[in-house]
Amino acid sequence: MTPAIQAAGWGDSPFEIAEQRSFTDGRIVLTGRTAKRREGKRADYLLRYRRDLTLAVVEAKPYKATVGDGLQQAKDYAEILGLKFAYATNGREIIEFDFLTGIEQKIDRYPTPDELWHRQTIGTPLTSAVAVKTMLQSLNHSTGKPPRYYQEIAINRTVSAILSGQKRILLTMATGTGKTPTAFHIVWKLWTSGWNKDADPTRKTRVLFLADRNILVDDPKDKTFAIFGDARWKIENGDAVKGREIYFATYQAIAEDERRPGLYKEYSPDYFDLVVIDECHRGSSRADSTWREILEWFEPAFQLGLTATPLGFKKWCGWRGSNPRPLASEANTLSTELQPQTEGCIVGGFTKCDRYNRGLISTPPDIF
């Protein structure tokens, strides 16, 4: 089975074959006071176009099995991993399912890496030289802790959405699943590849990371984003420093108030390429919020909202707070798969809203 995959060019650098690769740790189940982890999910083969970009999954069954015996499992894994191609084999035959076309068919050989990449990107904006360079840019592995599979999905989907021209993106991830590290890798891919909204090859990406509390700004700046070094800057004390690339600020530090005009206006509306809004369901999401003026000022920028509790979930859960609205009337919603909430987290350890959505409690909370 492995030689057949290698014959198609998989395994020849920079293309990779990840064999017997576990991508979940297994669901943690609580029984009384005892916690037990169930067996995780493991793919026989993952076909990677680059180290951080998987295109297909292959499930291998014994020689005597029928070729289609492993296809449903391959399709299930492909859906979890956000892949468009699933394969099953018994060593004698190969069957393919293409999620882009919905076609299931037997094939004589595995597609080459470039053939699969072409099939996945044809007809999309991801065929330009800049888009290809950005999508194929490696993630930062200096921490020694690679992104979880659902983080990798979120990173690649968000970057793909940006390269496709979607200016307003909502990234929904459950509490504790790593929104900040995910945002870091998104910024890293864009920054290191040289992407910017103006397609200007002479400058780096300029990013503004916004939050409503100092701890939500200082912690990412000093820890998660530390590798950016002197490219980082926190906007505070009324000082609108320019000449850096990765900026951090609280709304309060740059918003207009009774004492001063808005410091954010010291930056031109098109100064930033990307604005990342942490906990975006608070503050600037309200139509009558003065903080919202900041996002409206930077309207030309791509805006990425991070939250664990988007508007749709709040309505479903009977939320009775103020009346938030999306970051823009034509906001594009980008949500990660819900799988990590059952695979990698302790059931019962979510907010009441998460627990209600997952069917763990029967009564929707009034306020959370």
For residue 283 the two structure tokens come to: 């503050």
Which pairing describes strands 16-22 and 246-250: parallel, antiparallel, or unpaired? unpaired
Q: What is the pLDDT of residue 285?
A: 61
Reading the chain (368 residues) residue by residue, the pLDDT tens digits are: 899 999 999 999 999 999 999 988 888 888 888 888 888 899 999 999 999 999 999 999 999 999 999 999 999 999 999 999 999 999 999 999 999 999 999 999 999 999 999 999 998 888 889 899 999 999 999 888 889 999 999 999 999 999 999 999 999 998 889 999 999 999 999 999 999 999 999 999 999 999 999 999 999 999 999 999 999 999 998 889 999 999 999 999 998 877 778 899 999 999 999 999 998 887 666 666 778 899 999 999 999 999 988 765 444 333 333 333 333 333 344 443 333 333 333 222 334 444 444 444 444 433 32
> Is 126-357 in the same CATH topology as 2-121?
no
Q: Would you give the end-to-end CA distance of the chain in angstroms?
A: 52
Q: What is the pLDDT of residue 342?
A: 35
Which pairing describes strands 168-172 and 332-335: parallel, antiparallel, or unpaired? parallel
Give the pTM.
0.82
DSSP letters for 155-199: HHHHHHHHHTT--EEEEE--TTS-HHHHHHHHHHHHHHHT--TT-
CA distance 232 to 222: 9
For residue 22 the two structure tokens come to: 């576990």
Q: Are the C-beta atoms of 53 and 79 separated by less than 8 Å?
A: no
Q: What is the pLDDT of residue 259?
A: 75
CA distance 182 to 308: 13
Q: What is the pLDDT of residue 287?
A: 65
**Residue 145 DSSP symbol:** -
* Sequence ranges of the domains in the chain: 2-121, 126-357
CA distance 95 to 365: 47
The hierarchical CATH code for the domain 2-121 is 3.90.1570.30
CA distance 47 to 9: 10
CA distance 42 to 27: 13
At 146 the three-state DSSP class reads coil
**Residue 52 DSSP symbol:** T
Cis peptide, bond prior to residue 14, ω within 30 of zero: yes
Q: What is the pLDDT of residue 360?
A: 43
Which residues pair with residue 169 across a beta bridge? 304, 332
For residue 311 the two structure tokens come to: 């508007």
CA distance 65 to 236: 65
CA distance 198 to 23: 37
Estimate to the nearest angstrom the gap between the alpha carbon of 4 and the chain centroid: 32
**Sign of torsion, CA 60 62 66 69?**
negative
CA distance 136 to 53: 7
Q: What is the pLDDT of residue 367?
A: 30
Q: Are the C-beta atoms of 264 and 274 separated by less than 8 Å?
A: no
* Domain 126-357, architecture per CATH: 3-Layer(aba) Sandwich (3.40)
The backbone torsions φ and ψ at residue 297, rounded to the nearest 5 degrees and listed phi first, read -65, -40
CA distance 166 to 331: 8
